[in-house]
Amino acid sequence: MDMPWDRPRIGSRAHLHEAGGSLTTGAPNPHRKRAIANMRSPYEMHIICIDITNKCDLACSNCTRLLENQDAFWEMTPDNFRLAVRSLDGFPGVIAILGGNPTMHRNFKELCDIFVDEVPNKNQRGLWTNNIFKHSDLAKKVFGVFNLNPHGSERGIKSLAALRSRGWYHQGHSSHSPLLTAGKDLFEEEEMWDRISKCDINQNWSASIVQNKGKLRAYFCEVAASFDLARGTDNGIEVVPGWWRRNVSEFEDQVALFCPGCGVPAKLTGHMDYEEIDTYTVSNEDLALKSLKKNRKIIKYTESSDHNTIDHEVTQYSEDLRKTSKQKYSERVRKVTKQKLIFHICQEFYQKLAYLRQMNYEIRRSLKRLRLPSG
């Protein structure tokens, strides 16, 4: 099958290396300029995402959509979805719909009908989900590319059983590096921008379209869209036909705004999805507190924290890693339980010891009072 990502890339970033070349802000930043020169433009990506809802049946640690950090549920309207798909006319790669969990959209079937109308090539229609619910047969007819990750949920695994041979399938749990550990809190500017230039999301993931406050907005990076939605701000560009043909240099305002506050380039060790933990630094404390209000666990990352980093992509699907992490998590639980038990045993022992000492003291005093005078 001729997959879109097998085709040669188009376009060039060479003009960014020219003197003064194509930065859009009034205050040029040489470190940012070098970073942008090494970043992918949307037209060079294999996939562009359309997020159709932020509803999800899971609450993963360090979710790349920052779902638990958003204030309200939203769904893309069918009319907006049609406009979003039409704006990608001519894009040679996969157009993937996702969320949240896209199959939780109340008009999922209607959106599928629109997708088929607007994108005749089935191999360009992608579905990213963790649980298909009742839409398995519909999905088989509509989509040619699948990215299926049940995140270890038994319901999700059962739901996706009929689709797992049709695309990427990640059974078991995943390790997520934190998004809320802002690079600007951790690194000097030069190192920060060097890391941003090699960001896993830009190099391997996608640009995206979302519905922000009822309006369609496009972003050079899917995680940038997540930050905008989580903060309730609107820094996306207008979704017009061919927006994806723009060079990444034309997204410099987004790069300057979102990248320094993102934790992906830091590549810090995160948590397994099922732990439901968000790790953050001071610049993203406002978003972490939203997680806390939803009864999630949050961990503040400081200069005194252990700077453990990863040598793989920000999301790890390795089966060995999942088994090892699950085992380590269980061991940590057992260790904490054991420590608590030892503490309580020791506490009880010393309480009883103190009691026995007091009793011994009282008995000795009593015997001394009862002792007869000598002679």
Domains and CATH numbers, the chain: 4-265 (3.20.20)
Please state, in angstroms and rounded to a whole number, the distance separating the CA atoms of residues 369 and 346.
35
- Calculate mean pLDDT across residues 358-363: 74
Would you state the pLDDT for residue 8?
37
- Of 77, 42, 303, 313, the C-alpha closest to 175 is 313
Q: Does 311 have pLDDT greater than 80?
A: no
How is 254-320 classified by DSSP, letter by letter?
HHHHHGGG-SGGG-B--EEGGG-EEEE-GGGHHHHHHHHHTT-EEEE--TTS---B-SS-SEE--HH
Q: What is the pLDDT of residues 32-52, one digit of tens each?
A: 999 999 999 999 999 999 999
**DSSP secondary structure code for residue 26 in this structure:** S
94-125 tens-digit pLDDT: 999 999 999 999 999 999 999 999 999 999 99
pLDDT confidence tier of residue 15, bands split at 50, 70 and 90: very low
**Which pLDDT score, from 0 to 100, does residue 267 have?**
92
Give the pLDDT of residue 22: 31
Interval 83-93 mean pLDDT: 97
pLDDT at residue number 49: 98
- pLDDT tens profile 132-142: 999 999 999 99
Tokens read off for 94: 């996969």
Q: Alpha carbon of 176 to those of 62, 243, 305, 366: distances in Å? A: 6, 30, 18, 67
- pLDDT of 16 > 70? The answer is no
* pLDDT tier, 80 (very low <50, low <70, confident <90, very high otherwise): very high
The two structure tokens encoding residue 178:
């934190």
- pLDDT, one tens digit per residue, over 196-250 is 999 999 999 999 999 999 999 999 999 999 999 999 999 999 999 999 999 999 9
